[in-house]
Amino acid sequence: MNARREWLKTTLALAAGLPLGAGMANQLMAAPMSEAEKNFFGRSPLLPPMKIRLGSNENPYGPSEKARQAIQQALSEGNRYPFQVVNDFKETLAAHEGVTADHILVGAGSGDLLCATGAAFSLEGGRILSGFPTFPMLMNYAEVFKTTWDKVNVNDELVYDYEAVAGQIKPDTRLVFICNPNNPTGTLVNPGVVKSFTEEVSKKVTVFSDEAYLEFLQPSQQVSMIDFVKKGANVIVSRTFSKIHGLAGLRIGYIVAKPDIIRKIQRNHPGIPNNQLAIAAAKASLGDKDFMDMSRRKNAEARKILTDYLDKKGYFYGKSHTNFVMFDSKSDAQGKLSQLAQQGIAIRVWDYKGMQWLRVSVGTSEEMKAFVKAFDQIA
């Protein structure tokens, strides 16, 4: 565990050009680890600094130029609490989403709000249902409060099985978590299916739609479940600035829901976790179409380098619509994780169906070429 903590501290500190506080590194420790990762980081000697970071689905091009300028300008407000700034930002987000500001809660990343939601719903006891594997933060946090997490496996193509999930709702299911495109599989379900599911299920149970990777789809494909919020349904939508906007290190995201749901979640959300710089950067990034288009395009190009390789070598992988790809490592995922880490390349390993899967985030094209080369030598 210590080796992993040091490794994360080193890589994050490198990213920021700063020494990293224990708080953030410890928070990352709460991120789910596969059995392979536990074994590896529990035993491994000190690792070299990670030169190629393909472990956390970050955007290698961020922050955008506009965000950087906004951060510079906001620095002089660093001595001021951001009370009014958060309120103004809620208004901006509300206008952007077509709702009123009491439908919005801003967090230190969307993960912060996933946890607050997990707490809010689990305090009532009962169960939370989701597909599996998926991004587990809300459910992991809810389990701390003794909620039961019911999981429904993705299908053979690693695609979230909405019909099967709907079939597993029980009388004491309090929340259903969906994620489209899904992490860690990267796969996408037709928005029509997700809409029908959300419409029907939200009549009985609150639906949480995690849309962290929505902007990696072409704009015409980006169908948010926010329309159901506007119709007064029991639906919560989370969005983040960590992915297409490239602001993962600044920690800012938001949820959209009916005001009574927002109040319920806010009761379990600490004070104001936002800061002046993150809000300024997010505001500048929100309408930055050029940066989003560039990130989406470069991501697709770099992702193809990886999937072309996987195709050539016959690896089975989920059809990715995101900035990561999950594939069956064929053998010894832990060994591959370890050998790549020794070369300064960070990836992740996920457990699913008694197997270990590799999840590789999409970096720049140069990084993907370097990954493919290094991976090919150890595969």
Token digits for 122?
């689990």
Task: Assess 212 for contact with ligand PLP (CB under 6 A).
Answer: yes
Query: Cα(41)–Cα(47) distance, rounded to whole angstroms?
Result: 10
Which residue in the block uniquely carries the two structure tokens 């319920």?
Answer: 264
For position 186 contacting ligand PLP by CB under 6 A, the verdict is no
113 closest CA partner among 137, 132, 93: 137
Of positions 210, 215, 288, 328, contacts ligand PLP by CB under 6 A? 210
Q: CA–CA distance from 266 to each of 12, 112, 126, 198 (Å)? A: 29, 11, 20, 23
Residue 134 C-beta: closest distance to ligand PLP, Å: 7
Chain residues 64-103 in contact with ligand PLP, contact rule CB under 6 A: none
265 binds ligand PLP (CB under 6 A): no
Least separation in angstroms between residue 143's CB and ligand PLP is 17
Pattern of binders to ligand PLP over 121-160, x per CB under 6 A? --------------x-------------------------
Q: How far is CA 292 from CA 44, 106, 187, 259, 289, in A?
A: 38, 21, 20, 30, 5
Q: Find the residue with minimal CB distance to ligand PLP.
A: 109
**Residue corresponding to tokens 């309408």:** 287
Stretch that binds ligand PLP, among 18-26, 157-165, 240-248, 350-358 (CB under 6 A): 240-248
Residues that contact ligand PLP, how many (by CB under 6 A): 13
Query: Does the protein bind ligand PLP through residue 323 (CB under 6 A)?
Result: no
What is the token pair recorded at 158?
């690693």
Which of these segments, 15-23, 69-77, 109-117, 367-375, binds ligand PLP (CB under 6 A)? Answer: 109-117
Q: Which of residues 22-61 bind ligand PLP (CB under 6 A)?
A: 57
Query: For residues 109 and 126, which CB has a smaller minimum distance to ligand PLP in the complex?
Result: 109
Task: Please name the residue ranges forming H helices in the chain.
Answer: 2-16, 22-29, 35-43, 65-74, 83-97, 110-122, 137-144, 162-166, 191-201, 226-230, 259-266, 276-286, 289-313, 333-342, 365-378
Cα gap 330→355, rounded to integer Å: 9
Contacts to ligand PLP by CB under 6 A? 57, 109-111, 135, 179, 183, 210, 212, 240, 242, 248, 253
